[in-house]
Amino acid sequence: MNIIERAMLGRSPLPREELASVPAGDAPAPRSLDSMIERAAVIAKPEPSRVNPPKRTQHSTVLDFDRLRAMGMLVPDARRSQIKEEYRHIKRPLLMNAAGKGATLAEHANLIMVTSSRPGEGKTFTACNLALSIAAERDRTVLLVDADVIKPSLAKTLGFEAGRGLVDLLIDEQIELADVLVDTNVPSLTVLPAGSAHHLSTELLASENMRKLAVEMSNRYSDRIIVIDSPPLLVTTEASVLATLAGQIVMVVEASRTHQSQVQEALALLDSNQIVGFVLNKAQRVLGADYYGYGYGYGYGYGYGYGYGADQREGTEE
């Protein structure tokens, strides 16, 4: 049994519909009631016009949806896709928790940190898709923050040239949040890029300024979801300090590459009371009828109840 299975078995049983994993590449869209409902909802409620998005910041960019789609990413159009379906399952418990309707009440639950144990597992991919998926919801606004100051790649992934951002905000008190935000042609999605390279950039993540900024973002925009693309937990200690600021953690695990001991080590760096959900990324398995009988049966699950008690973190079964 792997760590994810064990962690989840320690909680209340997971409803089948909350299990999801993100396959690498294209896969046929599953037939399910949820996907039909999603389709019906899109027809019933046309998405807001992308023409002339309101200018709230000094910067804006136009995301190239065809390019994002070609990268296997989620785009906010009316088309049905496997990735949209996957992310509906991923975002649902996060949104419930953010609205205070989840099984767990967490402070700053609208601050969602996307992390992993190692680089390259798909944090940026997941953070972007999650943000795009949430932004497609009616009455939801999303701020997508690149806090992976070690290897910033949010702007590049989304396809725009970033200027100043988080690091500049943390080192220069003259700069305000609105000065460095980038609006997009998804009206409800705003991006905060990582900003300038700085020799103390990782230290800045654990700074008092970062804490104040996180509280400001969470409180000032309490109806907004803030998705934070973060450094890997096992690479820098500042990532776990950053994690203490977030109300919810999404732990990306690269299917078949990440060692269970690495996941366990990363989990041990998090506060045991934190809400932690898993995304099993680049899985070969697709969401379908048989959740349990293929490879990592429990690809993805949310921490119903509380995070991981010390007892659940002990011992590795590989």
How far the first Cα of the chain sits from its last, in Å, is 7
Stretch that binds ligand ADP, among 17-25, 91-99, 186-194, 309-317 (CB under 6 A): 17-25
Q: Does 157 bind Mg ion (CB under 5 A)?
A: no
Q: How far is the CB of 118 from Mg ion (least distance, A)?
A: 11
**Phi/psi at 253 (nearest 5 deg)?**
-120, 125
Under the binding rule (CB under 6 A), the answer on residue 285 touching ligand ADP is: no
CB of 111 to ligand ADP, least distance (A): 18
Residues 116-145 that bind Mg ion (CB under 5 A): 123-124
Distances (CA, A) of 39 to 137, 138, 289: 13, 14, 19
Closer residue to ligand ADP (CB): 108 or 123: 123
Is residue 22 a contact point for ligand ADP (CB under 6 A)? Answer: yes
**What, of Mg ion, ligand ADP, none, does residue 10 touch, CB below 5 to 8 Å by kind?**
none
Those residues whose C-beta lies under 8 Å from the C-beta of residue 62, and which sit 6 or more positions away, are 184, 185
Smallest CA-to-CA distance from 201 within 157, 246, 231, 158 is with: 231
Number of residues that bind Mg ion (CB under 5 A): 4
Pick 109 or 243: Cβ nearer Mg ion: 243
User: Phi and psi (nearest 5°) for 281?
Assistant: -100, 155
Stretch that binds ligand ADP, among 91-99, 122-130, 195-203, 208-216 (CB under 6 A): 122-130
Number of residues that bind ligand ADP (CB under 6 A): 16
- Give Cα 286 to chain centroid, integer Å: 19
CA distances from 294 to 30, 99, 170, 288 (A): 16, 33, 45, 10
| The two structure tokens encoding residue 271 | 């506060």
Site residues (CB under 6 A) for ligand ADP? 22, 24-25, 71-72, 116, 119-125, 153, 281-282
